[in-house]
């Protein structure tokens, strides 16, 4: 809960910084970034809530679990697609600087965000439709441990998602690899801004690391059950470590990549935090008196 609160404060300050400066609205780079920040904040809040609920109540009503799980799955799957979109934006900025304004517009950025939302919503919606078609209605009136495999338990859902994940992650990985190689080649050209190219290359590389961490969300859960069977006395510890690896650590990279590394955003973000601190300190002192 402390980690979730810390990240929520960081993400909230970033969104506030974005909203307070209109020139960020006109840059596709920052629009995509803030979309990722909001997506990660929602995802982290949902998975943390589900994690806490599993300890406090253990079982909850299936009709309550269903929308929470579907939204959590949707936001989890959106992150890699956002990374791919941001990598393409950096590729256009470095390799086609003269055509950047024509290619990367706010309208096209919003259209890309809409496509990402549709693609990521397709998976949980098809899970729901298959479950409604094959499972008795009583399932949604029962209380269950809120887990994807227990609610959407038909084997066809498992195989469908496996095929989707292979295509999904392969496409994103190839996109990141292609943009990284192109930016690296552009960095060697004499006419290219070496500093900007190097930053863009490092950003795409960090996106690749983020993608690998995101893939843990689809690999680790399948390893969790066998580990708990082997070491039943460490069941809670295994779940906790997996939760940190899969959901917490990848969310720390987003603020680092743009919040700390981007000079323009960092300047306004630091100014926003400083102003907040100046307002909070007098209130604390007055309460102490």
Instruction: Give the domains, in start order, of the chain with CATH numbers.
Output: 2-288 (1.20.1070.10)
The predicted structure's pLDDT at residue 194: 65
Give 16-46 pLDDT, tens digit per residue.
Answer: 888 888 888 888 988 998 998 899 889 888 8
Among 75, 85, 93, which residue's Cα sits nearest to residue 111? 85
Q: Which helix (H) or strand (E) holds 256?
A: none
Enumerate the β-bridge partners of residue 143. Answer: 61
Q: List, as own/partner pairs, every contact residues 14-18 make where C-beta atoms lie below 8 angstroms and the sequence separation is at least 24, other chains included.
A: 14/255, 14/259, 14/265, 14/269, 15/41, 16/272, 17/265, 17/268, 17/269, 17/272
The pLDDT mean for the chain works out to 81
The mean pLDDT of 64-70, rounded to a whole number, is 89
Point out the least confidently predicted range of 154-163, 217-226, 276-285: 276-285
Answer yes or no: is pLDDT of 67 > 50.
yes
Q: What is the pLDDT of residue 258?
A: 67
**What does the pLDDT look like over 47-65, one tens digit per residue?**
888 878 877 878 888 888 8
What's the confidence (pLDDT) of residue 219? 67
The per-residue pLDDT for 218 is 66
pLDDT-derived band at 222 (thresholds 50, 70, 90) equals: low
Which of 3-7, 237-241, 281-285 has the largest mean confidence? 3-7
pLDDT value of residue 282 = 58
pLDDT of residue 113: 93
* Residue 146 near residue 68 (C-beta atoms within 8 A): yes
Place of tokens 């998975």: 47
Mean pLDDT value across residues 78-86: 86
pLDDT, residue 145, reads 84
First to last CA, the chain: 31
Highest mean pLDDT among 10-24, 116-130, 159-173, 191-205: 116-130
Which segment of 99-113, 126-140, 223-237 scores lowest on mean pLDDT?
A: 223-237
CB 194 within 8 A of CB 187: yes
Per the model's pLDDT, the better-predicted residue between 227 and 27 turns out to be 27
Question: How far apart are the C-alpha atoms of 65 and 184, rounded to whole Å?
Answer: 45
Mean pLDDT of 256-282: 73
């Amino acid at each position: 809960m402390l980690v979730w609160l810390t990240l929520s404060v960081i993400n909230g300050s970033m969104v506030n910084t974005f909203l307070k400066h209109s020139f960020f609205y006109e840059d596709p780079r920052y629009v995509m970034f803030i979309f990722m920040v909001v997506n990660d904040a929602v995802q982290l809040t949902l998975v943390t809530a589900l994690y806490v609920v599993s300890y406090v109540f253990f079982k909850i009503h299936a009709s309550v679990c269903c929308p929470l799980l579907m939204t959590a799955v949707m936001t989890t799957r959106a992150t890699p697609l956002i990374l791919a979109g941001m990598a393409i934006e950096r590729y256009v900025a470095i390799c086609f600087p003269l055509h950047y304004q024509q290619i990367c517009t706010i309208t096209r950025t919003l259209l890309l965000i809409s496509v990402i939302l549709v693609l990521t919503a397709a998976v949980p919606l098809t899970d729901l439709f298959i479950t409604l078609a094959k499972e008795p209605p009583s399932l949604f009136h029962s209380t269950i441990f809120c887990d994807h495999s227990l609610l959407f338990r038909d084997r066809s859902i498992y195989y469908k998602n496996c095929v989707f994940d292979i295509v999904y992650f392969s496409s994103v990985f190839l996109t990141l690899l292609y943009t990284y190689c192109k930016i690296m080649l552009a960095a060697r050209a004499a006419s290219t801004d070496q500093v900007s190219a190097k930053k863009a290359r490092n950003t795409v590389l960090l996106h690749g690391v983020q993608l690998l961490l995101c893939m843990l969300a689809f690999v680790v859960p399948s390893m969790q059950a066998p580990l708990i069977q082997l070491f039943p006395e460490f069941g809670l510890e295994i779940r906790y470590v997996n939760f940190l690896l899969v959901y917490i650590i990848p969310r720390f990279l987003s603020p680092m990549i743009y919040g700390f590394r981007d000079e323009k955003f960092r300047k306004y973000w630091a100014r926003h935090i400083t102003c907040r601190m100046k307002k909070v300190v007098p209130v604390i002192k007055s309460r102490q008196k």
